Amino acid sequence: MRENNQAKKIDASTIMDAGDAVHQFEQLGGRITIFTPFGEDPLMHNPELVSQRETELKQQYPDFSRFFRTVVNSNIIACFVKDFYI
């Protein structure tokens, strides 16, 4: 497979800025849907509760690899069951 690799390094200056790319695309008649953030963090105005949430999350899930594997393997419910094992 290595002999079919067509990847080549390119200079970073040849890559257009995202905003410029969007502008050029729209100038050529394209349309891009701009997604806005969904909802609002109910704790965002209470730094003490934000800190508590982060602390408890890190205590319950100190290693996100297990959580990540579970989500990737479509076992979402197991992510929220305390002390689940894979």
Per residue in 7-40, pLDDT (tens digit) is: 888 888 888 888 899 899 999 999 988 776 778 8
Model confidence at 2, pLDDT cuts 50, 70, 90, reads: low
pTM for the predicted model, two decimal places: 0.38
Q: In angstroms, what CA-CA distances link 64 with 2, 19, 58, 67, 68? A: 33, 33, 9, 5, 6
What pLDDT digit, counting tens, does each position of 39-77 carry? 888 898 999 999 999 999 888 878 878 777 777 776 666
